[in-house]
Amino acid sequence: FLSYSDINTEKDTTMKNYKLILQYDGTRYSGWQKQGNTDNTIQAKLETIASKLTGVPTDVNGSGRTDAGVHAFGQVANFRCEESALPPRFLRSEETVTDLIRDYFNNALPMDVRVLSVSEAPARFHARLNAKEKHYRYVIDNAAVPDVFTRRYAARIPTEQEVRVSYDIEAMQRAANALIGEHDFKSFCDNRHMKKSTVRSIHDIRIVLQDDRITMDFYGNGFLYHMVRILVGTLLEVGSRKRSADDIPRILQALDRREAGFTAPAQGLFLVEVTY
């Protein structure tokens, strides 16, 4: 049996699961996922801070892997820790623990990465495994003269500044509509050695042209490596009349990356929201 002194000195071992919503400018990072040859990733920076916060090595799970140069309005992550591992001042403060955790991360992070909010999540919540829908947005600057102030956040296609393509947005939307539904998107995946299923469901694609800016919004239950960027490249080829909207079923059926369009640049892509 435990003695009275043992009871009083026994540490609280209540496990907490914290959900983070993040925003970042991915321009100078090597993507989300930590890598063995660099610590210049969003996940690596978060895990370094989380480990200092808890005093033990701490994993941070993300809702998905954004590529190098890709941005996020609403990336979701989570980490678990023993409540007793948090600094004692957190538990004594009049502020909420979640706000203190948010501020702790933001004080340590560079200014191009922000934790927008922290909330306590159910014990079994996992940022990636529990995600039901992801919303990605791709932005293209199609003005005669590119906007200096959005060059990191809008792709220029083609890259030569003096070239401007008149895209057929209606044809692009027709092609996009043919992509909606559950399909094997192997033709739109840049990982040739993908062993897992390449079947995904796209719920909606919306393409809008306004003031020489093309915005494409993609909603789906998951996306393969470079999938959104290849979809964008393929739709742009439809819009520039290099291929027909009627080619989409054939491309899907081919299950061959060579049949789809080019991979659009990273800087135009944003992870907007993850739905659970």
Task: Pick the closest to residue 58 from 40, 85, 38 (CA basis).
Answer: 85
Catalytic residues: 67
- Specify the pLDDT at position 5: 41
Rounded CA-CA distance 265/242 in Å is: 18
Q: Would you tell me how many other CB atoms lie within 10 Å of the CB of residue 50? A: 24
The reported pTM is 0.91
Task: Pick the closest to residue 178 from 249, 254, 251 (CA basis).
Answer: 249
Please give the structure tokens belonging to residue 21. Answer: 């919503």
Q: Across residues 2-29, what is the average pLDDT?
A: 75
Please give the structure tokens belonging to residue 62. Answer: 């993300």
The yes-or-no verdict on residue 1 having pLDDT over 70 is no
The yes-or-no verdict on residue 113 having pLDDT over 80 is yes
Q: What percent of the chain has pLDDT over 90?
A: 84
- Specify the pLDDT at position 4: 40
Q: Could you tell me if 71 and 24 are in contact, meaning their C-beta atoms sit under 8 angstroms apart?
A: yes
> In 186-260, which residue ranges form alpha helices assigned H by DSSP?
227-239, 248-254
Q: Across residues 21-39, what is the average pLDDT?
A: 95
Q: What is the pLDDT of residues 187-232, one digit of tens each?
A: 999 998 888 999 999 999 999 999 999 999 999 999 999 999 999 9
Q: What is the pLDDT of residues 122-161, one digit of tens each?
A: 999 999 999 999 999 999 999 988 899 999 999 998 765 5
- Specify the pLDDT at position 163: 66
Q: Could you tell me if 207 and 176 are in contact, meaning their C-beta atoms sit under 8 angstroms apart?
A: yes
Coil, strand or helix at 89: helix
| Tally of residues, the chain | 276
DSSP result, 141-187: E-SSS--GGGTTTSB-SSS-TT------HHHHHHHHHHH-EEEE-GG
Q: Could you tell me if 62 and 77 are in contact, meaning their C-beta atoms sit under 8 angstroms apart?
A: yes
- Specify the pLDDT at position 156: 92
**Residue that is written with structure tokens 């991915």 in the block:** 26
User: What band does 51 get if pLDDT is binned at 50, 70 and 90?
Assistant: very high
Task: Pick the closest to residue 271 from 125, 106, 65 (CA basis).
Answer: 65
Average pLDDT, the chain: 93
User: What band does 165 get if pLDDT is binned at 50, 70 and 90?
Assistant: confident
Coil, strand or helix at 81: strand
Rounded CA-CA distance 270/23 in Å is: 10
Q: Would you tell me how many other CB atoms lie within 10 Å of the CB of residue 27? A: 15
Task: Pick the closest to residue 80 from 106, 115, 54 (CA basis).
Answer: 54
The yes-or-no verdict on residue 2 having pLDDT over 50 is no
